[in-house]
Amino acid sequence: MAASATPQPAIERGLPAGLLDVANAASGASRREAQPLFGPQARGLARDLGLALALVALATLVRWSLGYITPGILPFTTYFPAILVAALVGGWRLGTAVSVMAIAAGWYLFMGRPGSFALPDAASVMNLLLSVVAIGAVIAGGGYAHSLMERLRRSRDATVQQNLHYDTLFETMSEGFAICEAIRDESGAMTDYTILEVNPALQGMVGVGSEVVGSRLSDWPGERTGWLKLCDNVLKTGKPQEFEYQNPQSGLWHEIHVIRITDSRLAHFFFDITARKNADARQAELFDELNHRVKNNLGLVASLLQLQARGADPAVRDQLTKAVARVHSVAQVHSTLYLSARQDEVDFGAYLTDLCASLSQSLINEDRAELRVEAESVMLAVDTAIPLGMVLTELVTNAVKYAYPAPGKGLILVRFKRQEDRLVLSVSDSGIGLPSPRSRRAGGLGMKLVKSLVSQIKGELVVRSRPGATFEIKLPPAPKAN
């Protein structure tokens, strides 16, 4: 994974690489030239040294004063508070500096011969050693307390900075945001929640003010049993939920995300999707208009073919009638797409039922054949549904025309079902059967069209005869998910 680059100012991000290097070098040179002679570290050292001298001077003055009142007072007694204050204020470094000054001042002024660094007697040396040990303990304790206070201060500053970032984001973000605390009854069921925070964006979306903070959901009118159930499910499972909702008052559409923060707290995010919904509605209107025009145009083509068939000789009339049935098959697909509100798939079972009903009305005039459909509800791509619909039209038209010559009657059965991992469409009858294989090989335009369409969708055509005739179209197996 590549290391993330340090963020650069916006003015630098617009510079080419070469200019950016020059700008950085010039900026660094300017900063070096602008640095004062005594930097922050030098000023801090001078401040600490001044504080150490002041503490030692004050402690020495107190010790000198107390020496006149209590001559037997130990030499370093008054220096311990000064060392402790230094360690608390500046840590072990400042405490050590004050202790060194204190030992030197105490030795010079109050041990052995005052005003001299001559070696003291054995008792004074023991006193000095014990004082050094005590001073070390004071420095250690004060330094540890100083480090704890420093960590506490840094933690407090970091918390303040984080809160500042959170408050800035909370106030300026365009998405709605709220935090809620669940309220449960004795049985543990979620019956209500308290609204802890609501940002200005959400207040504007739902038309409320800051007075909503601290209130309960039940304080506001409306039935929200389903909403509480959803929130309770998010708290129990930890799985975020999202849905779309239209505000009846404002008419705005929101995409709402509900996530769990703790075992009892939820965060709600509201995204304004009104523009997207309006675009979807417009697209749906255009799609409806397109399907309406396609249906009208296909109907016009079918009507023209029917008019042409009326004045044609029987052979041409038969071919034109088949062409009309094919146009109706395509039109039925578009009608089914419109009703199912999908642009890429169609419920082929429902489509077959409607198409066969249309074919029955247009083809069966003397009740010599009954057309029955047994179809499962399966979603098929339009590129597959349209060729299958045209195949069905050809097979049903041939069965109505040739399976039961007058005065015979019979059943034409259309099935669409699953067989293992494949889908199978079949058209069967119990009529006179198919002609001889040689005649079948010659075939007419209808059978050539059927074979071509089945090949187009990479299906398999199986034909059986005697008794009657059965045509099966087996679709290729659906690809298995990885």
Q: Write down the pLDDT at residue 20.
A: 32
One-letter identity of residue 332? Q
Sign for the CA dihedral angle at 183, 185, 188, 190 comes to negative
In 211-321, beta strands by DSSP E: 241-246, 253-260, 265-272
* Alpha carbon distance 354, 384 (integer Å): 17
Ordered by where they begin, the domains of the chain are 45-169 (no CATH), 175-272 (3.30.450.20), 278-474 (3.30.565.10)
Q: Write down the pLDDT at residue 170.
A: 67
How many helices (H) and strands (E) are present in the chain, helices listed first? 13, 12
Q: Write down the pLDDT at residue 4.
A: 39
Q: Which residues of the chain, if any, have pLDDT below 70? A: 1-45, 48, 63-64, 66-75, 77, 110-125, 127, 163-167, 169-170, 287, 329, 332-343, 365-366, 436-445, 478-482
Spatial contact of 457 and 429, defined as CB atoms under 8 Å apart: no
* Alpha carbon distance 194, 285 (integer Å): 42
Q: What is the DSSP string of 165-225?
A: HHHHHHHH-SSEEEEEEEEE-TTS-EEEEEEEEE-HHHHHHHT--GGGTT-BGGGS-S--H
Q: Give the DSSP letter of residue 427.
A: E
Can you tell me whether residue 8 is helix, strand or coil?
A: coil
Q: Which two tokens stand for residue 188?
A: 């543990």
Spatial contact of 474 and 459, defined as CB atoms under 8 Å apart: yes
* Alpha carbon distance 328, 306 (integer Å): 12
Spatial contact of 355 and 329, defined as CB atoms under 8 Å apart: yes
CB atoms within 10 A of CB 12: 13
Q: Write down the pLDDT at residue 30.
A: 42
* Alpha carbon distance 90, 248 (integer Å): 64
User: Which neighbouring-strand residues pair with 470?
Assistant: 428, 464
Spatial contact of 216 and 192, defined as CB atoms under 8 Å apart: yes
Nearest residue to 27 via CA among 15, 38, 39: 15
